[in-house]
Amino acid sequence: MISLVHKTASATKWSALDVFMRQGIQLAVSIVLARILAPDDFGIVAMLALFTGVAGVFIDGGLSSALIQRQNTTCTDESTVFFFNLGMGAVSGVLLCAAAPWIAAFFEQPALQYLSYAMAVNLFVGAFGSIHTALLTKEMDFKTMAKVGGVSSIVAGAVAIYMAVQGYGVWSLVGHTVTSGIVTVLLLWMWHSWRPDWSFSGASLRSLFGFGGYEMASTLLDAVLTSLYAMLIGKMYSVRDAGLFTRARNTQLIPVTLMLGIAQRVAYSAFSSVAEDKARLVRGLRQAQAVTMFVNLPIMVSVIVLAEPLVLTLFGEQWLPCVPMLQVLGLGGILWPLSVLNMNILRAQGHSDLRFRVGVVTKVFAIVLTVLASYYGIMAIAWSQVVISVCSYYLNAYYTNVLLSYGWLNQLRDMGMNFVAVIPLTAAMYLLADAMQTLPIIELLVAGAIGSGIYFLTCRVLCGELLQECLVLAGVKARVVQA
């Protein structure tokens, strides 16, 4: 039998490949589209994200997470969730179509009506692949997910760029989303053997919903919070401002998404498999946090210090006003991976009710603070995210302390060397960025290369074991969750 150590290591490598391919291709496509399209185009689509995000949560109902968390599920359980998702996908699509005229009128953007129709179709199509994705995650088969993600990203990116070049404007972004959804579903059905057995069990649905219901409510609050910024800015200020803020936020989220995409999927599956062993859970969390922050910290610092040459190099001068937003949001992204990993501990142990309580408190606080900040300007919204990040980490780690006696103070103490090691990198990049007066791309490459070298050398001196751990995970052998 393959040990959890080797299985988790293999999963980590394929999960990393999947995330890097998806994010890398999407970043490349985003760069091209940002140079062709206007900030207004991105702002219009961002304002629609709240409605599609909420609809997506209702389609799944948290049941996919329940399937992953439950170790022994039957084909009847899986088929029940599949048909439930299809039904909710159809209902959500119809409701979004019905609300389309109201959405367009509320934002005073007529194009949103027809964009809503297209996204409604995409919601229904996506429901066909939700079970396959859940089962692949549960099986830790990220190799198949990497293939699906790579192909769908390439095809969708090619379609979006072609449409943008041909002058389709905002429809290029919708075309990217719809194409990605269709290709992903087709490939999941081609490359994964699962098929429904045409059965539906009310008892199974109720049992899974006992866990998934809390998961759905928590995810629903996430969806509202994630898209609230663009909606508020688009309504209270302008579509262009919404596009600029969305560009800053998406750029800041790239490294965070990379870290979480690799760590979260593997961590949740691995944590779930050792949920009864608290000592192993603590070791797994400690290791996951240290490795994640080893990469996330220097990247976030680089984004903050080199924001201007980064934006100019990737997106062009029309996006320069988003630089201050990006720097503030980068500060808020430092602790975010730690919050998510703490919440995965609760998910893995089946404490969806506790996760829901923490989620309600943190998300309601975040929504209220974001709404209040919106009255004081766009930068106030950005700064509110820093406050939300710090408070969320404290609250998310509360039950980790209660259940495992491993709270935020112990966690930060264990990661002390992570924060110390990034100080020379920060100083070097700041001085280089201030001294160099050259092309943005040269400034970015030189400061990035020298800063990376300094960080690597600092880590060898201060935290050699952690550096070795990261190199191990990169491809030699694995020690992710030790027996």
Q: How would residue 263 be classed by pLDDT, with cut points 50, 70 and 90?
A: low
Average pLDDT over residues 298-314: 92
Question: Rounded distance, CA 407 to CA 402, Å?
Answer: 8
Residue type present at position 67: L
Domain boundary among 236, 267, 284: 236
pLDDT at 278 over 90: no
More confidently predicted of 83 and 143:
83
Count the Cβ atoms, other than its own, within 10 Å of residue 108: 10
Domain boundary among 236, 266, 289: 236
Tokens in use for 342?
């703490």
Domain boundary among 182, 212, 236: 236
pLDDT tens string 379-428: 999 999 999 999 999 988 888 888 888 888 888 888 888 888 899 999 99
Predicted pLDDT of residue 18: 65
Predicted pLDDT of residue 7: 53
Structural domain including 316 reads 237-483
Instruction: For residues 98 and 183, state if they share a domain.
Output: yes
Please say whether the beta carbons of 407 and 401 come within 8 A.
yes
Tokens in use for 153?
């990203």
Question: Rounded distance, CA 406 to CA 408, Å?
Answer: 7
Instruction: For residues 306 and 364, state if they share a domain.
Output: yes
pLDDT at 320 over 70: yes
Instruction: For residues 330 and 199, state if they share a domain.
Output: no
Predicted pLDDT of residue 41: 92
Instruction: For residues 178 and 277, state if they share a domain.
Output: no
Instruction: For residues 335 and 230, state if they share a domain.
Output: no
Instruction: For residues 102 and 147, state if they share a domain.
Output: yes
Tokens in use for 228?
């609230």
Instruction: For residues 71 and 147, state if they share a domain.
Output: yes
Count the Cβ atoms, other than its own, within 10 Å of residue 202: 8
DSSP string across 144-168: HHHHHHHHHHHHHHHHHHHHHHTT-
Please say whether the beta carbons of 220 and 65 come within 8 A.
no
Instruction: For residues 402 and 448, state if they share a domain.
Output: yes
Instruction: For residues 171 and 260, state if they share a domain.
Output: no
Predicted pLDDT of residue 196: 86
Question: Rounded distance, CA 382 to CA 391, Å?
Answer: 15
Domain count, the chain: 2
